[in-house]
């Protein structure tokens, strides 16, 4: 058992990386859709400047948990969230919280790229404009440029910023959505299967981007691709039937997970 403990804390360069500050924390999180309970007492820390992957079979609650982190579940009528979720120690379900401001701090990228039916420039400029992040046109131009650069899209679109965002390829559209999320300088970015509609090359570009974004943001990604979780994340959380089965270093999860349910799932076995 001693050996096992050692392997978990093994990544030495990780010593600083392996124990980053906790950015968000879910404590005893429960979710009900009407009378049906979708999440059972989930306790999950989200570490700063870390990519946390949420994996598990369909209906396991991973997307439900993700949506709790920026109160996207508020939009669903009969959805009730219990327990506590904090961002920098502050309860995000506290009545004093401004949900619009919360979602600026905790941005989201969806499964299917969903650019606004506007120009590439306007797609990125929209957020900073409504949040009043730029004092003038020059500042706004600057935000658009840096956001597109951070999303690795600048070189591909700099000469056609006024063309429609919807005219880009699927992979480019998804990176545009990431640029749009990045433009309001969020602290956390939630990604709900961001590559499931993309081809392998576009997927690789988005994954490479996730890897870079980690330096400036905290990222939580829901993915059905175990290989993707293994490639992009530092921490992996395994969900099953609304429960958090196991959360650990990604290296540990994919070489020697503690729970047999995790092992069966990642190895593609019958549970």
Partner 1 sequence: MASSHIYSAFDEELKFLARRISEMGGLAEQMVSESVQALVTSNTALAQKVISDDATLDAAEREVGDKAVIIIARRQPVAADLREIMGSIRIAADLERVGDLGKNTAKRVIAVQAQGVPRKLARGLEHLSELALMQLKEVLDVYTTRSAEKAKSIRERDEEIDAMYTSIFRELLTYMMEDPRNITPCTHLLFCAKNIERIGDHATNIAETIYYMATGAQPEGDRPKDDTANTVTASVTE
- Distance between CA atoms of 99 and 85, rounded to whole angstroms? 14
**74 CB burial (10 A radius; 0-12, 13-18, 19+):** middle
Q: Which stretch binds partner 1 (CB under 8 A): 51-59, 70-78, 153-161, 249-257?
A: 249-257
Verify binding: residue 4, partner 1, rule CB under 8 A.
Answer: yes
- Distance between CA atoms of 133 and 185, rounded to whole angstroms? 9
Verify binding: residue 12, partner 1, rule CB under 8 A.
Answer: no
CB 18 to partner 1: min, Å:
19
**Looking only at residues 55 through 114 of this chain, which bind partner 1 when binding is defined by CB under 8 A?**
none
CB 216 to partner 1: min, Å:
30
Sole binder of partner 1 in the list 89, 117, 132, 268 (CB under 8 A): 268
Q: Which is nearer to partner 1, 81 or 245 (CB)?
A: 245
Q: Which stretch binds partner 1 (CB under 8 A): 29-37, 77-85, 131-139, 250-258?
A: 250-258
Verify binding: residue 259, partner 1, rule CB under 8 A.
Answer: no
Cβ neighbours for 34, distance < 8 A, ≥ 6 positions apart: 78
Helices 170-183 and 200-213, axial angle in degrees (round to 10): 20
Verify binding: residue 230, partner 1, rule CB under 8 A.
Answer: yes
Q: Which stretch binds partner 1 (CB under 8 A): 3-11, 12-20, 95-103, 188-196?
A: 3-11
Binding mask 173-192 for partner 1 (x = CB under 8 A): --------------------
Verify binding: residue 215, partner 1, rule CB under 8 A.
Answer: no
Sole binder of partner 1 in the list 227, 228, 233, 239 (CB under 8 A): 227
Query: 56: part of which helix (H) or strand (E)?
Result: none
Sole binder of partner 1 in the list 97, 197, 226, 241 (CB under 8 A): 226
End-to-end Cα spacing for the chain: 25
Q: Which stretch binds partner 1 (CB under 8 A): 25-33, 173-181, 235-243, 248-256?
A: 248-256
Question: Could you tell me the two tokens for 187?
Answer: 């602290």
CB 37 to partner 1: min, Å:
27
- 12 — phi, psi (to 5°)? -70, -45
CB 271 to partner 1: min, Å:
7
| Long-range contacts, 21-25 (Cβ 8 Å, 24+) | 21/47, 21/48, 22/46, 22/47, 22/48, 23/47, 23/48, 23/87, 23/88, 23/187, 23/188, 23/218, 24/69, 24/85, 24/86, 24/87, 24/106, 24/188, 24/218, 24/220, 25/84, 25/85, 25/86
Cβ neighbours for 131, distance < 8 A, ≥ 6 positions apart: 104, 184
Verify binding: residue 271, partner 1, rule CB under 8 A.
Answer: yes
Verify binding: residue 9, partner 1, rule CB under 8 A.
Answer: no
Chain positions contacting partner 1, by CB under 8 A: 2-4, 7, 226-227, 230, 254-257, 263-264, 266-271
């Amino acid at each position: 058992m001693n050996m096992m403990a050692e392997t978990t804390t093994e990544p030495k360069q990780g010593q600083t990386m392996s124990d980053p500050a906790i950015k968000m924390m879910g404590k005893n999180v429960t979710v009900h859709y009407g009378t049906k309970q979708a999440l059972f007492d989930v306790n999950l820390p989200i570490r700063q400047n870390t990519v946390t992957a949420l994996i598990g079979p369909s209906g396991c609650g991973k997307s439900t948990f993700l949506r709790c982190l920026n109160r996207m579940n508020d939009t669903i009528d009969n959805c009730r969230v219990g327990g506590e979720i904090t961002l920098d120690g502050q309860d995000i379900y506290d009545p004093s919280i401004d949900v619009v401001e919360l979602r600026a701090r905790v941005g989201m990228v969806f499964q299917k790229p969903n650019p606004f039916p506007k120009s590439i420039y306007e797609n990125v400029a929209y957020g900073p404009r409504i949040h009043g992040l730029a004092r003038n046109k020059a500042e706004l131009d600057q935000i658009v440029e840096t956001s597109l650069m951070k999303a690795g899209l600048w070189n591909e679109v700099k000469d056609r910023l006024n063309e429609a965002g919807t005219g880009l390829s699927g992979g480019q559209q998804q990176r545009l959505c990431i640029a749009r999320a990045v433009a309001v300088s969020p602290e956390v970015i939630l990604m709900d299967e961001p590559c499931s509609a993309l081809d392998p090359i576009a997927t690789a570009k988005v994954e490479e981007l996730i890897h870079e974004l980690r330096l400036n943001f905290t990222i939580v990604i829901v993915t059905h691709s175990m290989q993707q979780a293994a490639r992009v994340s530092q921490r992996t959380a395994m969900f099953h039937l609304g429960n958090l089965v196991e959360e650990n270093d990604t290296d540990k999860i994919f070489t020697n997970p503690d729970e047999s349910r995790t092992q069966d799932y990642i190895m593609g076995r019958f549970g």
